[in-house]
Structures are given as structure tokens and as C-alpha cells.
Amino acid sequence: MARPTRRSPLTGLGTLFGVTLVGLLVLPFLALAISTPIGDLSEGAAHPLFVPALLLSLRTTLMSLIVIVVLGTPLAWWLASSHSRAARVTEVLVDLPIVIPPAVVGVALLQTFGRQGLLGPVLGAAGISVPFTESAVVLAQVVVSAPFFIQAAANAFRKVEPDMLIVARTLGAAPPMAFLRVAVPIALPGLLVGASLAWARALGEFGATLLFAGNMPGRTQTMPLAIFSALESDVRLAVVFSLVLAAVGVVLLLAVRFAPALRQTVGRSA
């Protein structure tokens, strides 16, 4: 006769705590969704701030993502394949923007690229002004979101067996070709996750962008900054903008969760 299993008191307590935490995470977004009438959505989409801010966010985040993937992929491969002290130090430096507040990042960017900053005189002599421009938006997004891609990409590349690259080299493939045809396809699910996380972080960037690029409608005002501006005059409009940005985040989350599994399913069927 099977003995009844004894349930630990901690199990019920842990379940209660878990449900409470999930409620705290989900309830605000549920309140955001149910507090927005359909009519407010159409009015918000027709507001002069909406389309320019949305297009600017999509354009700048796409540009920042391209920069991050192009520059971050080789860096992630080096971090994954190297066991040197320099690689470990670099990995710590790459993670700095995650633990430093975005406002501090914005001030640091001003001290680097501003007129009186570290590179200001050099850029000024070349006729280049970075702060309070669209380039500043992209630069702020790159700095705060690049660590998320590099971390995920490095972890994905660590799953690539070195012997597979050696075999590709013995078959005549040059090192760059072996990397593109062997390492990248194996690590692709992790690269996609990292790119999605970096894009989501760039899309929601606020503090560094506000201090380094400003909040100028049509020029540097992204969707988070448009929400900030709308909140000062019309709470309903801020709610609509927030709901749109949250919907984009949900789409990115679904892509992160299901894209690798979908790729594996397609690969098996092929």
C-alpha cells in the first residue's frame, strides 16, 4: 500500500508567495489594458505625438540593433572562446551598463561626446555634434542594450564544440567561413534571443536618452519620452501610448519564447 505523501508547510507558503509575486507582475499590465477604451486607442493613434515618436523609436532601435549585432557578435565569440584574463575583464566591463542607472549613463555620454566632454573638441573640430540629435538616441540605446545581446550570444557560442570548427578548417574552410557556416547556425537561437532582448531594452530606454538626446518631438522624442510628455498634460493619452509599447513588448517576448522552438520544428520537417 502506497504511503501518502506528506506535504511540507513550506510548499503552500511558497505557492502563496509565488502567486503574490506573479500577481504583482501581471496586475499592473492588466489594469493598463482594461482601463483603455477602444475610442481612446483611435484618438491616441491620431495624436500628433504618436506617429513621429513611434517611427523614431522603430528607426533608432533598428539602427542600434544593427550596430550591436555587427560589433557584438565577434566580441561575444571572443569572450566565449578565450580563457584569458583580458576576456574576463572585458566581460565585466561590458556588463557595466546593466548595473549603472540609465541617468548616470546619460551624464557619462554627455561627458564623453558633449562640447566640453572627452571627445568634444575633436568632434567639434570635425564639425560633428552628437548630443541632442538622432545619433545620440541611437548611441544611448546601443550603450544600454548591447550587454543583453553580448551575454546571450556569448552563452550561445559556448555551446559550439571546437572540434566542429576544426573539422570545417580541415575541409578547407577559412576561419571566417567556418565561423559563419558552423558556429553561427548552431548559436542562432541564442543570438535571436539576445537580439530580441537588446531590441526590447532599446525600445524602452528612457533615462540615458532624455539626458543625452533630449525630448524634442519629431527629432529625439521616442515612445517612452512621448509617454513622459503626455503624462504631464493628458493621462489618457499616456495610457494609450503605454499600451502600444506594452503590446510591442509582448510581441518581442513571444518571439523570444517561441522562435527557437519554431525553428527546430521547421528544421525537423525539412
The amino acid sitting at 40 is D
How many Å apart are CA 8 and CA 26, to the nearest integer?
A: 28
Q: What is the pLDDT of residues 90-116, one digit of tens each?
A: 999 999 999 999 999 999 999 999 989
Average pLDDT over residues 190-207: 92
| Domains of the chain, each with CATH number or no CATH | 58-222 (1.10.3720.10)
Supply the pLDDT for residue 38. 77
Task: Tell me the one-letter amino acid at 61.
Answer: T
pLDDT at 235: 85
pLDDT of residue 86 exceeding 90: yes
Dump pLDDT digits (tens) for 202-224.
Answer: 999 999 999 999 999 999 999 99
Tell me the whole-structure pTM to 2 decimals: 0.86
DSSP for 40-107 reads: HHHHHHTSTTHHHHHHHHHHHHHHHHHHHHHHHHHHHHHHHH--SHHHHHHHHHHTHHHHS-HHHHHH
> 25-34, 109-118, 162-171: which range is least confident on average?
162-171
Tell me which of 222 and 171 has the higher pLDDT.
Answer: 222
**For residues 121-132, average pLDDT:** 92
Q: What is the pLDDT of residue 6?
A: 57
Residue 39 reports pLDDT greater than 90:
no
Confidence of residue 9 (pLDDT cuts 50, 70, 90): low
Residue-level pLDDT at 65: 95
Tens of pLDDT, residue by residue over 219-270, are 999 999 999 999 888 888 888 899 888 888 888 777 766 765 655 554 565 5
